[in-house]
Structure formats: C-alpha cells, structure tokens
Chains A and B, each alone.
Chain A
Amino acid sequence: MKKVNNEIPIKYIIFTLTGICLVMIICSFAFNGFASPVKNAVSFVVSPATKGMNKLGFYMINKKEDYEKFKSIKEENESLKKQIADMQNDNALSVQDQNELEQLRKLYKLDNEYMDYETVGARIISKDTSNWYSTFTIDKGSDDGIEENMNVIGDGGLVGIVYEVQKNYSLVRSIIDDESNVSAQFAQTSDKCIVKGSLKLMNDGVIQVFNINKDAQINEGDMIVTSNISSRFLPGILIGYVKDITNDSNNLTKSALLTPVVDFAHLDIVLIIKEQKNTGEE
C-alpha cells in the first residue's frame, strides 16, 4: 500500500511542531498582538465565507421560526387589528405627551447622554468555535475606526466589549461570557455591583450579580445599568433586570441573578459606541 519514502520520520515532525506550538504559546503571552499580520491575512480569506454562511444560518432559523409561528399568527392577526384601532387613539395622545416631555426635558436640561453617543453599526459574522466561550466576530475593524475596549450595544442594551481589533474585523466578548466582568449599578438607588457572566447560568438566560451592599434597598425587577466608576464601560447603559436576590453567607453583601435585555441567541446587528470612557489616565 504505502510507497517507499525517504521522508522525515513522524517523531521529528511531532517534535518540530510541538516546539513551534510552544514558541507560539510563549510568544502570545509575551507579546500582545504578535500575530496580527497573519490574523489579517487569514480573515481576508475566511470573512467572506463566514459572512455568507451566517446569513444562511439566520435565514434558516427565521424560516424555522416562521413555520412554528404560522399557526398562531392568524389568531394573533385578528386580535392585533382590534388593538391597532385602540392604539391609534393612544398614539395621538402619546405624541402630545412626547412633545410635552421634550419641552420639559429642555426645561430641566436633562441631557440624555446614552442617546448622544456616536455609534457605528456592525454585523456579527461568526461565533467562537468551542462551546466554552461566548465571543463573536464582527465585520468592522481598525479600518472603520474600531478600537479595543469600545462598548458594544444592541437590542436596547449592553452586548459586550471589543477585546481584539484587527484590520477588517474585531472580536467581541459578550457580557454572558464566562470571562466577562462588568462594573454596574442599580439605576434607581445607585448601589454598586459586579455583573459577571457564567457558562453555568447561560442556558437559563441569566447572569450573576455580585457585591451588592447588604443594606441596599433593591427589589426584584430593578433595572441594572453600567456604573459611572467602571474603567471600561460608559455609564448608564442598560444591562438588564435583577431577580432572585439572596443574602451571601458573609452577611455583608447580597448577590442576585440578572436577565439581560439583549437576546443573545438572535443577535444579528450590533452598535459599537465610538466614544471611550475617559478614565483620566492619559
């Protein structure tokens, strides 16, 4: 079967490749971004393919959901038509309210910072290969002005943070990732806490909240936003709603679970905030 060959014996190949791997592992700890040129070259080939396949994936998942929903939609349609009539009435009223609100805001000089951030849209093109992490690739990179540590929002809430930037793509760590830590606070009471992703809780659609002061006056359903003392996240971005508040065994702090507002399973397009938190270090 096998041809007589005078090639290199397998053990030398193994030794050489192991050596190469170990050198690369050491290099990636020692020098940040030493493989950037290679990464760019590879992404040049891989990105177009992943983009296309991802679209196909979304198409399929939509079709599947369409089919599941089809039956209930007819009934829903009937009741919705009735609702529309009611809502048109309400809408007229709320437009008036809106105008009034805007006037009041101007009066009180409430500047809504959250709306004022300059953002850039990006599409998610692929997800981490392993089942251990929740990181994903977006199709914008340093060419589009993306920088490391920029905040990523979408679906009306915080999605994550850019942790690696290459020429035409970047990697985003979502807040449900096991390595993610976000300094946050309760919107009403400004009690500080830490929001931490967890692989264990990911399937239940929740993440963990730590280090809440024992005396904090908080209730289930309270809103959690990014805190103003965070070093990487801009203040006031909505993360989610708290539930299952429990006292820690140390009797000094409380912890809880948090339901993110972002639906990570169906996330397609995200916004990257181009402004970065000014920590006054420079």
Chain B
Amino acid sequence: MIGGNMLRKIIIALGIFICFVLQTTLFKFLALGNIAPNLLLMLTFFVGFIRGKKEGVYVGFFSGLLIDICYGRVIGFNALLLMYIGFLNGAFNKMYYDDEVTLPMGLVCISDFIYNFVFYVFQFLLRARLSFGYYLIHIIIPEMVYTVIITFVFYKLFLKINSTIEKYEKGSAPSFD
C-alpha cells in the first residue's frame, strides 16, 4: 500500500508534468494577445503557500529544472528562480487559511512579477533591450493578470486535492514511520 507521503509526492510530480505539458501546448493556443499563463509558477506558489517552504523549494526547483532541460538556454536558471519563489511563498505559509483568497492572489501576482522581472533583467536587459516600460505593459502585466485569473479558477480545485490527500494521510498515519 502506498503511504500518504509517497502519494503526495507522486501527485505533485504528476502535477508538475501536467502543468508543463499544458503550458507548452494547450495554453499556447489559449493565449490572449500572445501571452500564456505561467502554470508552473502557479503550482510552485500553491505548494509553497499551502505546504510550506521545504516543499515549495523542491517543487520550484524541479519545475524550473524541467523548463531548463526542455527549453532553457542556460540550465539551472529557471530552477534557481522558481526555487526562491517557492521559498518566498513558503514563508507566507503561516498566514494560510482556507477561506482567504486575497492574500494568495496577491502572492501569485507578486511571484509572477518577480519571475518575469528577473527573467527580463538577465535575458533581455543584458542584451541591451532597454525599454522596460514596453515589456512591462506588453508581457509582464498581461501574464500577471492571466496567471492570477487561472490561479483563481483552479484554487478551489487545488484545495480540494490537498484536503483529500491530507485525509488519506491521516487514514494511513499509523503506518507512517
């Protein structure tokens, strides 16, 4: 029988895989004005916020690594960036309540901004693309809005999945070492 802890790991790994596949394919078709939402960032935020720093860091690291391996120009860049975003959201874990929605949406918004800002600085500013204002309006803010909307849509579903796993964990608690 699979322990609850193992089950959670499998589900999160599956989640990373699904988000990655959706982000590179289906959501590129659902893109509004060429902007697609950042699902892996959403997942990193979610796990960090609900489960705490440690899991946030791991999810961020592996999501980023997957991006780097499949699309990265530099391996490790996205992994590093998403790892810290997972950590940052994990720091707000203590303020997590089921019914609160404003804080998580604010967090995902800020996370997405940080991610794209750092991305801009390292991948575009260093190649002398100086007009930050343009990129802010046409890339960063639309992606922020879109990601927040998608997070809002999926938030309740995520909570549901999380509470189901927690129930399962409690059920199999005696066998937990």
Interface residues of A (CB under 8 A from B): 3, 7, 10, 13-14, 17-18, 20-25, 27-29, 35, 38-39, 42-43, 45-46, 49-50, 53-54, 56-58, 60-61, 125-132, 135, 137, 171, 178-179, 199-200, 202-203
**Given A13-B54, A46-B20, A202-B34, A21-B83 contact (CB < 8 Å):** yes
Nearest residue, chain A, Cβ from B83:
A17
Q: Is A17 in contact with B57, judged by CB distance below 8 angstroms?
A: yes
| Interface residue? B172 (CB, 8 A) | no
Q: Is B71 in contact with A128, judged by CB distance below 8 angstroms?
A: yes
| Interface residue? B164 (CB, 8 A) | no
Question: Of B61-69, B103-111, B150-158, which binds chain A?
Answer: B61-69
In B2-58, the 8 Å CB interface with A consists of 17, 20-26, 28-29, 33-36, 38, 40, 53-54, 57-58
| Interface residue? B79 (CB, 8 A) | yes
**Given A18-B83, A127-B24, A178-B129, A46-B29 contact (CB < 8 Å):** no
Q: Is A10 in contact with B25, judged by CB distance below 8 angstroms?
A: no
Please give the number of chain B residues whose Cβ is less than 8 angstroms from any Cβ of chain A in the complex.
50
| Interface residue? B134 (CB, 8 A) | yes
Instruction: Choose from B22, B38, B69 the contact partner of A38 (Cβ within 8 Å).
Output: B69
The 8 closest A-B pairs by CB, nearest first: A24-B76, A57-B29, A126-B24, A53-B25, A21-B80, A21-B76, A25-B76, A28-B75
**Given A54-B25, A57-B25, A129-B24, A25-B74 contact (CB < 8 Å):** yes
A178 contacts across to B, CB distance below 8 A: 124, 127, 129
**Given A25-B77, A132-B124, A202-B34, A53-B21 contact (CB < 8 Å):** yes
CA distance A60 to B129 in the complex (A): 35
23 A-B contact pairs sorted by A residue (CB < 8 Å):
A10-B54, A13-B57, A17-B57, A17-B80, A22-B80, A23-B76, A25-B80, A28-B73, A28-B75, A28-B76, A39-B70, A42-B66, A50-B21, A54-B25, A57-B26, A57-B28, A127-B28, A130-B67, A131-B35, A132-B120, A135-B71, A178-B127, A200-B131
CA distance A260 to B139 in the complex (A): 22
B38 contacts across to A, CB distance below 8 A: 129
CA distance A53 to B22 in the complex (A): 7
Q: Is B70 in contact with A132, judged by CB distance below 8 angstroms?
A: no
B80 contacts across to A, CB distance below 8 A: 17-18, 21-22, 25
Q: Do most interface residues of chain B lie in helix, strand or loop, or is the interface mixed?
A: helix
Q: Is A28 in contact with B71, judged by CB distance below 8 angstroms?
A: no
Nearest residue, chain B, Cβ from A20:
B76
B139 contacts across to A, CB distance below 8 A: 131-132, 199
In B133-156, the 8 Å CB interface with A consists of 134-135, 138-139, 143
Instruction: Choose from A35, A56, A137 the contact partner of B26 (Cβ within 8 Å).
Output: A56
| Interface residue? B123 (CB, 8 A) | yes
CA distance A21 to B123 in the complex (A): 17
Q: Is B138 in contact with A58, judged by CB distance below 8 angstroms?
A: no
Q: Is A137 in contact with B76, judged by CB distance below 8 angstroms?
A: no
